[in-house]
Amino acid sequence: MAYEAKIIEKKWQEIWDKNNYFEPKNDFSLSKKYILSMFPYPSGRIHMGHVRNYSIGDAIARYYRKIGYNVLHPIGFDSFGMPAENAAIKHKVHPKSWTYENIDYMKKELFSLGFSFSKKRILATSDPLYTKFEQEFFIKMYEKGLIYTKEANVNWCEQDQTVLANEQVEDGKCWRCGHEVVQKKMPGYYVKITAYAEELLRELKQLKDKWPNQVLTMQENWIGKSEGLEFKFILDEKSQEKSQESYVDVFTTRADTIYGVSYIALSVDHQIVQNLISNSYLDHIVIEKIKQIQNQTQRERQSSEKEGYFLDIYVIHPLTKEKIPVWVANFVLSDYGSGAVMAVPAHDERDFEFANKYGLGIKKVIECDTELPYVQKSGKLIQSGEFSGIECNEAKEKIIFKFEKEGLGKRTINFKIRDWGVSRQRYWGAPIPMIKCTKCGVVPQKVENLPVVLPEDVEITGEGNPLENHPSWKECICPKCGLKAFKETDTLDTFFESSWYFARFASDETTWQEKALDEKSMKYWMNVDQYIGGIEHAILHLLYARFFQKALRDLGYLNDNEPFDRLLTQGMVLKDGAKMSKSKGNVVDPDDIIKKYGADTARLFILFAAPPAKELEWNNDALEGAYRFICRLYDKAQNVRKGELLELKQENLNKEEKYARLKVYEALKKSEEVYTQTFAFNTLIASCMEALNALGSCKNQALEQEAFYIILNILEPIIPHVCFELSERLFGCENFKILRPKDEVFIKDTLNLAVSVNGKKRAEFEISSSATKDEILKTAKENVLKWIQDKDIIKEIYVEKKLVNLVIK
Ligand code: ANZ
Ligand code: ZN
């Protein structure tokens, strides 16, 4: 019986299919595990990153199934989005047929890898049924004030001709195509993620040790909570006249440094700056520069060299009454705090750099021996009036207290996170279910008329919004007044779809037609026990999904506060040191591996080559190695006695046999922690290999049987086809349950003892733990004959289970 991967893989996939092996049970009295790997975008083919992601998830899901859990392990497709439209432009195919053909192909690929996904709960987010409920959520959120529309500066990608969320701009470039992002004022819909900023931050604490630290830190920084003081600097009389404003509001986290303020810096979009421009108080060169800065993203402004201009106006310091110059500066964000900064060069990096460049004052107000800027939050205040001599943290509190008491300012909390802009000017997305009526303004669609579906007859040219350009699609009747109105022609950001698919999966599929989310299922299946996916989603998807969970909870759809209990971020798959990607031409196609070696080899290799969270370097030799291991397992199984397990008595085993059995049980013991805690599959596989080696030449049938029974069980989640096949042949498949480790196997029945002569260690020997003291001393002497020959032994000392010491003359 040679190992024929193709035949057995096909056989078992059919059996699993026929018996609905991997469908979740609707028996809610069982203990459950919801294991989810991030669903793929249907780009065309499965790549090695997918294979890795799904091999990890599948191993975990199969393990829990094996130990008796009711397991939900679904898969679907994140199927709206730009690439479908780009394909339409390039290959003249309809985005819909391109998408669904890809889905069909990728489904086949996924199932050929033997992943234990539920087949009844497969979905694609571009399905009209999915759109229907998504639009329902949109309307409910809109009615609750969690979605609103406004005209605002947005990130615009010229290449993709669409708006991007802040989270989708990376270093001033489009996360998708890498094109420069520009600022553009446009109307759009916004999701009020800021309403949950506090909760999103607070609950990160509960995810500690369950999510990777790196992800938690990234989310914490992105949410960016700061506590500080907000207060006014009054403009002097002449400056009020010029700027038509009476004061500048600033936000500071360092109220303790207030005596060190030497200038005020305004953002380029600040009202005062705008007023000075329209009243012609600024030089045209300066105006030009300001406009240039306005065209940059906030991020670019911050990363460029510090740049600014004196505005020729002044404010009065509220405590010292000094006259302080006001500047406009590129590093001041217009949408953070009040868009103005009280600059303290002596104690802030940016303020220092700017002051140095433009020769502005630098006043030290915290005692320190180091060079400026001194940015630590410790030390006593100096040159700070009544607050001099006080520790800065305490002084900060006192100053805030004073400002609040005298009505000059107030304690404020600011968040960096911004509301999520979800309008996209593209075709292949879920239409935003809103109507624009000239009489009634913006009106939601009636829920009973959902879904609002996309027209099929569109021309996709890459220029302009295809729904806007469609001759008739947008025309409709206003649900409020019945007059002619227009549909919103923007579609939703695809991250909207991926923000709730996990909840949809958890819903019993027999309820899918009627409702978005089935309450009983939500209670039972949510939240996801183990989520597995790429680190690239650390902020974007994982933050949106957490928001959605909370919003849906508050709309009464589900109960849990957090969607994902535990998160594993898998490392990238590399080849020749670089991420596998089409553009680098270093991809290995999973299909080729399956064809050549079989799915089990692909799975084994990918789980053996590196711990899941680490990068994995592709290695053809290791791939061959994985294949050879499976062949060897297969080979050895030939000699194993079939049928019922024979009785195996520990005391009847010889030394080699005991050792082999110990190795098998060590692997078994390890399997539990690997599958449920560490996910260090590589070490578990190594243990199985070791056990198989130790079994080497053992001729004990009972031992071999037991060893195979256990090893096949341990490896089934990793190489399921092979293990199912061999288990069936050897034991009949129904036996396929994991054994508990037996303690007796771990009890060692020999001792290792050292022998010293006059305190100097001379030898070591192994002896049965049941040996008597006389036997031990006798053996000890035999081991050190060389040193005690012809000598008188005056003392024999035995330290129990440790050593023998012989004292000679
Ligand atoms: C004076 C000061 C002195 C500051 C000092 C810092 C250190 P985080 O922690 O990120 O919230 N700031 C306020 N509004 C700003 C804006 N719109 N654009 C850029 N910077 C702004 O940062 C808060 C600090 O960033 C504030 O505290 C303010 O500078 C600056 F030794 O005030 B600070
Ligand atoms: Zn109307």
> 254: Cβ below 6 Å to ligand 1?
yes
CATH number of residue 626's parent domain: 1.10.730.10
Looking at the structure, do residues 322 and 390 belong to the same domain, yes or no? yes
Torsion of CA 513, 516, 521, 523, to 10 degrees: -160
What's the half-sphere exposure (Cβ side, CA atoms, 13 Å) at 788?
23
CA 226 to ligand 1 centroid distance, Å: 9
pLDDT at 740 over 70: no
**Which secondary-structure segment (H or E) carries 766?**
strand 760-768
Residue 795: give its domain's CATH number. Answer: 3.10.20.590
Residue 497 reports pLDDT greater than 80: yes
Same domain, 306 and 407: yes
The answer to whether the peptide bond before residue 479 is cis (omega within 30 degrees of 0) is no
Residue range 145-174: mean pLDDT, rounded:
85
Q: Examine the pLDDT at 275 and tell me if it is beyond 80.
A: yes
State the pLDDT at residue 741: 62
Ligand nearest to the CA of 298: 1
pTM for this structure?
0.88
What is the average pLDDT score of the chain? 93
Q: Which residues are annotated as a binding site?
A: 582
Name the nearest CA neighbour of 650 among 641, 639, 661, 640: 661
Q: How far apart are CA 214 and CA 535, in angstroms?
A: 9
Q: In terms of domains, do 299 and 359 share one?
A: yes
Closest residue to atom 26 of ligand 1, CA basis: 252
Q: Give 500 Cα–ligand 1 centroid separation in angstroms.
A: 36
515 and 476 together in one domain = no
Say yes or no: CB of residue 264 within 6 Å of ligand 1. Answer: no
Q: Strand ranges (DSSP E) for 171-303?
A: 173-174, 181-191, 225-235, 247-252, 263-266
DSSP-derived letter for residue 2 is -
* 337 vs 583 pLDDT, higher one: 337
Same domain, 435 and 471: yes
Are 240 and 314 spatial neighbours (Cβ–Cβ below 8 Å)?
no
Structure tokens at 18: 């026929």
Question: Is-contact 94 511, C-beta < 8 A?
Answer: no
Instruction: Looking at the structure, tell me whether residues 264 and 316 fall in a common domain.
Output: yes
**254 CA → ligand 1 middle, Å:** 8
* Maximum pairwise Cα distance, the chain: 120
pLDDT of residue 745 exceeding 80:
no
Q: Evaluate whether residue 628 is within a structural domain.
A: yes
Pocket flag, ligand 1, residue 345 (CB < 6 Å): no
Within 10 angstroms of residue 582's Cβ, the number of other Cβ atoms is 9
Distance 138 CA to ligand 2 centre (A): 20
Q: Which of 415, 431, 448 is the last residue of a domain?
A: 415
For residue 688, give every residue at least 6 positions away whose Cβ sits within 8 Å of its Cβ, in sequence order, or none: 667, 711, 714, 715
Ligand 1 contact via 563 beta carbon (within 6 Å): no
Residue 121 sits in a domain whose CATH number is 3.40.50.620
Residue 247 confidence class, pLDDT cut points 50, 70, 90: very high
Nearest alpha carbon, ligand 1 atom 22: 253
The answer to whether position 514 is within a domain reads yes
- Best residue among 341, 364, 374, 415 to mutate for probing ligand 1, ranked by most atoms within 8 Å of CB: 341
Q: How many CB atoms lie within 10 A of CB 430?
A: 27
Distances (CA, A) of 199 to 196, 207, 220, 550: 5, 13, 11, 9
Which of 221, 253, 254, 273 maximizes ligand 1 atoms within 8 Å of its Cβ, making it the mutation to test the pocket?
253
CB atoms within 10 A of CB 307: 17
Instruction: Return the ligand 1 atom nearest residue 226 CA.
Output: 11
pLDDT of res. 119: 97
Q: In this structure, which residues have their CB less than 5 angstroms from ion ligand 2?
A: 437, 439-440, 478, 480-481
CATH code of the domain in which 394 resides = 3.90.740.10
Provide, rounded to the nearest whole percent, the portion of the chain with pLDDT above 90: 82
Radius of gyration of the chain (CA): 35
Q: Whose CA is nearest to atom 8 of ligand 1?
A: 226
- Which residue's alpha carbon is at the smallest distance from atom 27 of ligand 1? 252
Atom of ligand 1 nearest to the CA of 347: 31
Q: How far is the CA of 497 from the centre of ligand 2 (A)?
A: 29
| Final residue in a domain of this structure, among 395, 415, 435 | 415
Could you tell me which residues are annotated as the binding site for ATP? Answer: 582
Q: Are residues 778 and 703 in the same domain?
A: no
pLDDT exceeds cutoff 70 at 507: yes
Closest ligand 1 atom to the C-alpha of 258? 1
Domain count, the chain: 5
Q: Contact 514/549 with Cβ under 8 angstroms?
A: no
- Residues 725-744 have a mean pLDDT of 74
Write the residue with the smallest CA distance to atom 28 of ligand 1.
Answer: 252
- 441 CA from centroid of ligand 2 (Å): 7
Domain-located, residue 531? yes
323 lies in some domain:
yes
Mean pLDDT of 115-126: 98
SS3 at position 772: coil
Asked, for residue 102, whether it belongs to a domain, the answer is yes
Find the angle CA(690)-CA(693)-CA(696) to the nearest 5 degrees: 155
Within a domain: 210: no
Average pLDDT over residues 375-390: 96
Measured CA to CA, the distance from residue 74 to residue 119 in angstroms comes to 8
pLDDT the model gives residue 743:
67
Contact 403, 256 (CB under 8 A): no
Look at residues 236, 235, 239, 267 and name the one whose alpha carbon lies nearest to residue 251: 267
373 touches ligand 1 (CB under 6 Å): no
> Which residues lie closer than 8 Å to 219 by C-beta, 6 or more apart?
200, 204, 538, 539, 542, 543
444 ligand 1 Cβ < 6 A: no
Peptide bond into 654 cis (omega under 30): no
Query: In this structure, are 711 and 755 located in the same domain?
Result: no
* Better pLDDT: 92 or 364: 364
User: Is-contact 185 151, C-beta < 8 A?
Assistant: yes
Write out 461-512 in H/E/C secondary structure: CCCCCHHHHCCCCCEEECCCCCCEEEECCCEECHHHHHHCHHHHHHCCHHHC
CB count within 10 Å of CB 464 equals 11
Predicted confidence (pLDDT) per residue in 295-325, tens digit: 787 777 888 899 999 999 999 999 999 999 9
The vertex-136 CA angle with 452 and 506, nearest 5°, equals 115
Structure tokens at 208: 């500690």
On whether both 290 and 321 belong to a single domain, the answer is yes
Residues 603 and 731 in one domain: yes
Nearest ligand by distance to the CA of 479: 2
Nearest CA, atom 12, ligand 1: 341
Question: pLDDT band at 411, cuts 50/70/90?
Answer: very high
Query: What pLDDT is attached to residue 465?
Result: 87
pLDDT in tens, 689-719: 999 999 987 889 999 999 999 999 999 999 9
Q: In the predicted model, is pLDDT for residue 800 greater than 90?
A: no
**Top-confidence residue, 400 or 647:** 400
The reply to whether 773 and 719 lie within a common domain is: no
User: Does pLDDT of 176 surpass 90?
Assistant: no
CA 443 – ligand 2 centroid, Å: 7
Confidence of residue 734 (pLDDT cuts 50, 70, 90): low
Pocket test for ligand 1, best of 227, 252, 363 (most atoms within 8 A of CB): 252
Query: Percent helix, strand, coil in the chain (nearest 5)?
Result: 45, 20, 35
Distances (CA, A) of 281 to 263, 273, 287, 358, 461: 19, 10, 10, 20, 46
Q: Whole-angstrom distance between the N-terminal and C-terminal Cα of the chain?
A: 68
Contact between 230 and 290 under an 8 Å Cβ cutoff? The reply is no
Q: Give the model's confidence band at 369: pLDDT under 50 very low, under 70 low, under 90 confident, else very high.
A: very high
DSSP state of 382: -
Q: What is the pLDDT of residue 715?
A: 96
CB 703 within 8 A of CB 648: yes
Residue 396 CA: which ligand is closest? Answer: 1
- In-domain check, residue 706: yes
Taking the centre of ligand 2 as the mean of its atom positions, its distance from the CA of residue 442, in whole angstroms, is 8
Mutation choice for ligand 1 from 271, 317, 334, 336, CB with most ligand atoms inside 8 A:
336
Contact 302 CB / ligand 1 (< 6 Å): no
**Last residue in a domain, options 743, 762, 781:** 743
Ligand 2 midpoint to CA 478 (Å): 5
Interior/surface letters 383-422, b for 16+ CB within 10 angstroms, e for the rest: ebeebeebebeebbebbbebbeeeeebeebebbebbbbbb
Pocket lining: 252 vs ligand 1, CB cutoff 6 Å: yes
163 with 48, same domain: the answer is no
What is the four-CA torsion angle of 551, 556, 558, 560, rounded to 10 degrees? 60
pLDDT digits (tens, 9 = 90+) for 205-233: 999 999 999 999 999 999 999 999 999 99
Is the predicted pLDDT of residue 428 greater than 90, yes or no?
yes
What's the rounded Cα separation, in Å, for the pair 294 and 809? 95
* Domain-embedded: residue 13: no
Residue 480: CATH number of its domain: 2.170.220
Residue 696: which domain range?
590-743
